Structure 1
Amino acid sequence: MAINFSPGNILRLTARLLQFVLALTVCGLYGTDLDAAHKAHVYADSKWVYAVTVAGLSAISSIVLALSSFKTWFFSWWDGVLFILWVAVFGTFGKIYLKADTQGSKGVTRMKHAVWVDMVNMVLWFLTACYGAWAFWKAGRKSKAWKSEAEV
């Protein structure tokens, strides 16, 4: 199997790698609080569970999407779904932590940084959703043009 080193393929793989790394980063940032809650025998806040779930879905999806070599509408659609899920994560934690005063708290500082990682995740999934939709549309247009020429 030959590897295609076209600029588009390199860009796609780079975006997927960034999505994977940043999803794992979010798992670590929010997982710290989930672990602390577990050790203290208190309930895990649903906001943190949601963030780690979205990050986990993103990590798995980025690997699957990086390894797939064909274009389907589903992949672009799934990128869009993950973008919307990241919008919710960014909005939820942005509202809580962006204007919060750290007052020397390392936990609040860590969460302020996590919000920016959430935003970058959100932007990356938006860009890959747009690129996927464009690539699928372009491939479909080529296919239709080819069919119409063959019918003549």
Structure 2
Amino acid sequence: MLRFLGRKTMKSEKSVAGSTSSNLSDWSIGSIARIITRLFQFVMGLTVIGLYAQDLVKAKSAHKYADPKWVYAVFCGAFGALTSVVFMLPLVKSWIFFGVDFLIFFFYMVLFGIFGKMYMQENPEGNKGIIRMKRAAWIDMVNMLLWFGTAVWGLCMFFRARKERGRQSVV
């Protein structure tokens, strides 16, 4: 069922871990693009953590409860950042796990829905907290689009690999 996992069917996903040369000319354009995209997802995940965690710290220092919306936001940022680091590794064919990308896309879509509804229509009137949360909602949207892009790319690569595997079994 998963025989294609061991094959190097996709040019953009070939691993360079076993090569003796360490220069970038051994890497394909697809591999470099994947690493840059995953690095950007990592940085954006850390940004989400930084934007929302400071409100959790303020609530804890004021001996108030942690609002589940902010806890969910920090979870989304942490899960996205951790996943992007794993998918950045050269030995991981991240396109196989396009379902995880879709799941994280869904998480960020819900997050953008929650905070977009709360803050997008809000008039900040100089309130720096509201301005920060409006910016955080836009960051959530960027994350949502990034994860959607990698999910669709992974889905396309998955079907392309299946098509190539089908052609190889006929010949």
What range describes the TM-score normalised by the shorter chain of this pair?
over 0.9
Match of 1:96 among 118, 130, 142: 118
With normalisation by structure 1, the TM-score equals 0.93
- RMSD of aligned C-alpha atoms? 1.4
State the match for 2:70 in structure 1.
Answer: 48
C-alpha contact (below 8 Å) 1:20/1:59 kept by paired residues: yes
Alignment of 1:1-152 (within 5 A): 1=17, 2=19, 4-71=26-93, 75-149=97-171
Which amino acid is 1:123 matched to?
L
Opposite residue 9 of structure 1, the aligned amino acid is S
Deviations 1:77-105, CA, capped at 9 Å, x for gaps: 00000000000000000000101110111
Change (3 A) 1:74 1:8: closer
Deviation at 1:6, TM superposition (A): 1.1
Provide structure 1 residue ranges, at least 5 long, that are not aligned to the other structure: none
Ranges of 4+ aligned residues in structure 1 off by more than 4 Å: none
Name the structure with the higher helix share.
Answer: 1
- 2-side partners of 1:12 and 1:61: how far apart? 13
Separation (CA, whole Å) in 2 of partners of 1:61 and 1:91: 22
Give the number of aligned pairs.
Answer: 149
Question: Residues 72 and 136 of structure 1 are in contact (CA less than 8 Å); yes or no, is this contact kept in structure 2?
Answer: no
* Structure-1 separation of matches of 2:94 and 2:46: 26
8 Å CA contact 1:93–1:115 kept in 2: the answer is yes
Matched residue type, 2:103: V
Question: What secondary structure does 1:79 align onto?
Answer: helix
Q: Which amino acid aligns with 1:46?
A: P
TM-score, with structure 2 as normaliser: 0.83
2:4 matched residue in structure 1: none
Distance 2:136 2:160 in 1: 36
Identity of aligned residues (%): 44
Q: Which moved more, 1:135-144 or 1:38-47?
A: 135-144
Structure 2: how far apart are the matches of 1:52 and 1:29?
A: 9
